[in-house]
Amino acid sequence: MTIFFDFDSTLVSKESLDEVIALALADSPDRIEQTEAVAAITDKGMEGAIPFTESVRQRLAVAPVTHQHFEAIGKELCEHITPRMAELCAELIERGHEVYIISGGFKTSILPVAKLLGVHADNVWANTYTTDQSGVLTGVDTDNPCFTDFGKSPVIEAIVRKNAPPRPYVMVGDGANDLAAFESDAVDHFCGFAGNKARTVILERAPRVAYTTSELRDFLFSEVAV
């Protein structure tokens, strides 16, 4: 079995890019207006009024984000791992299953958490950026399969082409972009994770929803890896 975990609001209880942007704006004299502008862009993205890649570009344009901000949030997120997820990842790996983290967030702020979860850095598929010499972001790597408006399917297809991990494939996540992997047949199973955020799209369309890590564990071991 191969489990593809979403990161934000699934393995951790927060949304990493929002945290990075809040940190970047913390000392700005215009932070109230900037925070409102970022929230408006986030909302437009969630409503589907603008594509995901556009919402990332627009948010990064408002906030003067640096590599150091991503590193700091990576450390902070280690304190916000969803309860029992570390134990579940350890058990999955110990039983010989493959665990991947696939995210529209940025790799820098995911790697410290992945290390704690025992997930190898090569199994973390997330966005990457370029910076200038002082660490200020100069762009997002648009060649990365994670920088897409088509949810997690292109990422899973890229992983399957490169590594051909063992079936069945299971996607676990809280968002419409995670569910897209199942609805496009990139994975065999989907479990919505509503332990941090219970989104309507998941509650209405996911074939299975777990509200706790324990429910997710039961699903994986009783219904998928049988």
Asked if 174 touches Mg ion (CB under 5 A), the answer is yes
* Local structure of 148: helix, strand or coil: coil
Q: Are 119 and 85 in contact (CB under 8 A)?
A: no
Cβ of residue 153: shortest distance to Mg ion, in angstroms?
Answer: 15
Which of residues 8 and 76 has its CB atom nearest to Mg ion in the complex? Answer: 8
Does the protein bind Mg ion through residue 175 (CB under 5 A)? yes
Residue 9 near Mg ion by CB under 5 A: yes
Q: Determine which residue in the list 2, 5, 6, 12 makes contact with Mg ion, applying CB under 5 A.
A: 6
19 binds Mg ion (CB under 5 A): no
Task: Say if residues 213 and 84 touch (Cβ distance below 8 Å).
Answer: yes
Smaller CB separation from Mg ion, 19 or 174: 174
Q: Which range of residues in 4-12, 51-59, 64-72, 75-83 is near Mg ion by CB under 5 A?
A: 4-12
**Taking the C-alpha atoms of 51, 171, 60 and 72 in order, what is their torsion angle to the nearest 10 degrees?**
170
Cα angle vertex 101, ends 95, 106, to 5°? Answer: 155
Contact (Cβ atoms closer than 8 angstroms) between residue 127 and residue 106: yes
Stretch of residues binding Mg ion (CB under 5 A), selected from 1-9, 71-79, 81-89, 144-152: 1-9
Q: Count other C-beta atoms under 10 Å from residue 200's C-beta.
A: 8
CB 185 within 8 A of CB 197: no
Cβ 181 to Mg ion, closest distance in Å?
12
- How big is the site for Mg ion, counted in residues (CB under 5 A)? 5
Binding to Mg ion by residue 105, rule CB under 5 A?
A: no
Enumerate binding residues for Mg ion (CB under 5 A): 6, 8-9, 174-175
